[in-house]
A and B are shown apart, each in its own frame.
Chain A
Amino acid sequence: MHTPTTESAPDSVQRPAAQRRIFSLAEVAFLIGAPLAWAVLLWFHPSVDRDDVYGSLRDQVATYQIVHVGTLIFIGLMGLALYMLTRDLPGKAARISRLAIGPFVLLYGAYETVIGLATGALVQHANDAPAGERPVLSDAIQSLQDNVIVGDPGVVATIGALAWIAAVITAAVAVRRAGAPVLPTVLLGLSVVVISHPPPIGPIGLTCFAGAVALLARSARLSAPVSAPDAAPFQYQA
């Protein structure tokens, strides 16, 4: 077992093995695959006119619902991915990041559930209703969208989005302090834009996240010695 490094990390600040950050290949695949898969899904997110939600969605309600059921799952997976990224990192920034993941998953997930799935279910109902009832149903859908608690923007969405911003920025700080190069740090920071998830912004933010992880993994491989060809995992080493 060896611990090659590319930088001048003094031995005195190296952490013991038990605290080191290690990712297996499967973990790296998850950390890159989850955001990329979500980004692909989000390309199918229908664009919605905030002033005419029913009119925007009535012909693409199935797509809207599929995207948001998937999004619900991916919100949880992104929370897990960010947790894995900062899980063993020391310091206040990493701790804040880990703490912020909970409110993000909970509240952004709740917001997505209502705005995505509840709206989809109501649009489906309106489509099945007699034509004469549709204007009032459209008003009801619009009221849901404008609700101060779960609407867009509403209290739940705002807190959930702020939690993601806090989690990502502090994760970038923590990763940088653990020795990550500048580029992946910046890319990770840029993934804050995921809170505006429809395309193109959401997929771009998720690609930044995946790119940051890929660069971190590449950085680790570059620092691996030739004598360790099977050393697939990478780690931060302080």
Chain B
Amino acid sequence: MTAFATQTVPPANSDEPPGRVAGPPRAFTSPELAFLIGVPLLWGILLLFHPGGEGTEIYLDLQDNVTRWMVVHVGMLLFIPLIAVALYVLLRGVEGTAARVSRIALVPFVVFYSAFETLQGIGNGVLVNAVKGLPQVDQATRADLVQDFAEHALVRDLGVFSSIGSLGFITAAIAAGVALRRAGAPLTVPVLLALSGFLITAHPPPFGPAGLALFVAAVLLFKGSQSGDGPPASLGQPSAA
């Protein structure tokens, strides 16, 4: 039988100073490493199939590419939370303000970037498909409808959702780099993570796949610094690397 009770239980690490690493981040397990590398790699491959276009004639660009467009963007809907989980796993065991900022920033990224992707990706694809099936609608009206939708303030590139979501991921990536650097990662890791943040949020090729490749490189470098130098964390102090 169980019961509710009230009391204040201090956090297990309450004696740790803020902004410091609670202990050396443990080495990644093989499944974790496979996940950390596999997710960005697979997403990068998927993004290579992202249809191109200037974004000024979306209906014309998409009308013969709807299936491909939809497959890429339904896949993206899955990879957006997965890359957030990957960043979360990368920071597992790392404490401090930067790590906390990174974890918190993942939430607006997942919520708003997914919404942006759903509208700009899936919404556009569904809409193009829908208007293609309406013979009574002339080509100009179809194109106008799709273009107007794609340029809506909430939906468009650099619109409300895209901006908040992108800022969320860029913040998360930069803060993760800072947190890992404080945990002993070489300087290359935060640099690569920061670059990946900017590139991944501009996701069509070549930017997205390049950013995801940089993310993989950052993971491998961090992993290498863990296995090469033993426990990397010196309680929040940057390493000499």
Interface of A with B (CB < 8 Å)? 1-10, 13, 17-18, 20, 22, 65, 69, 72-73, 75-76, 80, 102, 105-106, 109-110, 113-114, 117-118, 121-122, 124-125, 133, 136-137, 139-140, 143-144, 147, 149-150, 177-180, 216, 219-221, 223-224, 228, 230-238
Contacts and interface: CB of A to CB of B under 8 A. Distances in A.
B9 A140 contact: no
15 contacts: A9-B3, A72-B111, A110-B77, A113-B118, A114-B122, A114-B123, A117-B154, A121-B154, A143-B131, A179-B2, A216-B4, A224-B7, A231-B7, A235-B9, A237-B4
Interface stretch (B134-142, B193-201, B205-213): B134-142
B6 A232 contact: yes
A10 B1 contact: yes
Interface of B: 1-9, 12, 70, 74, 77-78, 81, 107, 110-111, 114-115, 118-119, 122-123, 126-127, 129-131, 133-134, 136-137, 141, 145, 148-149, 152, 154-155
A180 B126 CA distance: 45
B59 to A, nearest CB: 12
A118 B119 contact: yes
Among A9, A20, A102, A110, the one with the most B-chain Cβ atoms within 10 Å of its Cβ is: A110
B123 A118 contact: yes
Contact of A117 (B2, B119, B134, B136): B119
B2 A236 contact: yes
B111 A224 contact: no
B7 A2 contact: yes
A220 B4 CA distance: 5
Contact of B115 (A17, A117, A238): A117
A237 B5 contact: yes
B202 to A, nearest CB: 21
Contacts of A137: 141, 145
B3 A133 contact: no
Among B1, B78, B133, the one with the most A-chain Cβ atoms within 10 Å of its Cβ is: B1
A44 B190 CA distance: 45
Contact of A109 (B74, B115, B131, B152): B115
A216 to B, nearest CB: 7
Contacts of B6: 4, 220-221, 223-224, 228, 231-235
